[in-house]
Amino acid sequence: MEDAGWALSRLNDGASTATGNACTYRYAESSRAVRLYLIDSAVSNDSGWFDANSNLTFAAAESFPAGAESSEFGHGTRMLSIIAGPDCGAARGIPVELHSYDIYNDGDSDASNLGLLVESILRATTEHEIAQFTDPDVLGVVCIANGTGEPARSPALLSAIDQALGVGLVVVVSAGNDSADILNGNSVEDIINGTADAYLPAAYGSARDGLICVGATTSENTRSPLSNYGEAIDLDAPGENVLSFDPDQPQAGQTSPMQGTSPAAALATAAAIIELSRQPDLDPAGIEAALKERLHAADEVSLVQTDDDLDDDGAADELERFFGYSIDDPASVPGSPSLEVNGEMTELSFTIAADLWNPEDPMNLSDSSAWRLLASTDLQNWTEIATFIEYGEEKGGRLPVTALAPKGGELEMLAIQEGGSAVHRAIPSGQRNAADEVLQELYETQKDLFPEWYWEILGLDDDGLVANLLAETVTVTPTTTSGVYYRIEIIPNP
C-alpha cells in the first residue's frame, strides 16, 4: 500500500521513525478466513466504501439490548476501517467475516455498557460454538476497542472472557485513554500500578493469556500521553493520527485521523487476525505469545509487528507458497529461478506448488491468485511480456516450470486487454510495422470472441481493416549488452 501513513508502516518496521507520504505498508496475505466479532458502536457501509475490499464480508449485525435500533455508527465504522478497510486496513489481505455487535443503544452509563459488554461477549461465544459444529476449525477474534469507568473487578465480565477464550476466541481490548488525568478519584495504589489496571476490561490483560490489552504509541515510538499504562498492558500499537474512514465524510476516504488506544487496539486486532489466519492451529494464548515474540522494544513501549516471513528464513511467505516451500520451516527455502538464453528465447526455470497449478490456465492459480512475467532494462521500469509455458513432472509437491520469453534486444509488443485477461503478441525487433499485421490477425482469428465495440476501440473499421492503430506499443531498449532483466510477479487473490 502506497502512502499508507506512519501507523501502518510501523507495523512492518517498528524501528522506523519515518512519517509522511513516503510511508508504505506491505500487508500479509492468507486464504484462511477469520471471524471478527466487533463489539463497539454499529458499522455503516452506506457509502459502499468497504466494498473495495473483496476479502471483507458483512456477515451479521446485532444490537444490545436485543431489538434496539442502532443510532451511532462512527466509532465502530472507524475501527473496522483500521482493521480491514480497503485503503487503511492492516488486515486487508485476510478474508475477514464481520459480526458487528452494537452495545451503545441503552444510554451512555458505564453500568449499562458493562452489562451489555458481558452480554455481547457471551453472544459471540455462543455464535462461535454454533459455527464450530459445521466447521470445527473456524477462527475468531473479538475486538473491544472501548472500555468502562466501572471498578476494575467484575466476576461476570471475567467469566464471559474466560468462556470466549475457552472456545478459541482471541480477545483484544484497549487500555483506555485516562492517563492524562490521573487525579480522577483513583486510589494511590491504582495510580502507582498504572491506570490501565483500574478500568474494565483492560484490567484483566495480565490476568488471562489470550486476552490482549493494547496501549498506544506516538510516531516517535513513545507512549501516547493519552494512553493508560501499567502491568495490565500486553503490547502497544500506534495511536496517534491513525488513518481511518470517517462515515460522516465518505467522499474523503480515509482522511480522518484517530487518536488513542481505540485505533491502537484495532491495529493489534488486525495483527491477531493475520497471525491466526497464518497459524490456525494456535489457541488464544499461542496467538498472544506469537505476537509478543516479534514485538519491537522501544522506550517504555513494545510495538506489535506484522511481517511476511513467518519462519524468518529471508523468503517472503507469498513466494514460498508460490514456489511450493514451507512457510514455517527455516530450512525450506526456494532458490532463485535459473535463466538461460537459447536462440531467440530466454528460458526461466523454477517451481510452482503443485496444488496451485492450473494446467488449463497456467497464469491463473487454483487459489484465484495469478502470476505474470515482466521485463526491464534498468530495474526501474517493468513491462509485462508474452510468455509460453512448459512444465514437467511433479516431485515433492512442486511442479517444474519453464517460462519462455523473447530474448531481449529491442523488444516491442502489443498488449490487448479484455475482461481482466490479457492477450499478448510479441513483435520481433525492428518490425514495428508488423503491429498492423498482428492486429489484423487477431481480428481474423478472434473476431467472434469479443463485441464489435472492442475492435472499434483498437482502430478497426467495419471490414476489420486497420483504420487507426490506438493500441499502445512499448519499446524496451537495453542499457547494457547483456539485455533484459526478468522478474516474476505474483498477483494476490483479490
Q: Are 193 and 231 in contact (CB under 8 A)?
A: yes
Q: Give pLDDT, residue 462.
A: 52
pLDDT at 371: 85
Nearest-5° angle of CA 204, CA 245, CA 54? 95
pLDDT of amino acid 464: 45
pLDDT at 182: 47
d(C-alpha 366, C-alpha 319), whole Å: 15
Q: Where are the domains of the chain?
A: 6-303, 338-491
Q: What is the pLDDT of residue 81?
A: 96
Helix (H) or strand (E) holding 439: helix 434-446
Helix (H, G, I), strand (E, B) or coil at 450: coil
pLDDT tens readout for residues 35-54: 999 999 999 999 899 999 99
The predicted structure's pLDDT at residue 278: 84
Please list, in sequence order, all residues whose beta carbon lies within 8 angstroms of the beta carbon of residue 477, skipping any fewer than 6 positions away. Answer: 377, 410
Predicted pLDDT of residue 195:
67
Place of cell 542499457: 479
Task: Tell me which residues of the chain have a pLDDT lower than 50.
Answer: 107, 109-111, 181-185, 188, 190-194, 409-435, 453-454, 457-459, 464-482, 494
Q: Looking at domain 6-303, which CATH architecture does it have?
A: 3-Layer(aba) Sandwich (3.40)
DSSP class of residue 70 equals P
pLDDT at 269: 98
Do 407 and 345 touch, CB atoms closer than 8 A?
A: yes
Distance CA 99, CA 58 (A): 7
According to DSSP, residue 410 is labeled S
Cell numbers that stand for 349 in this block:
526455470
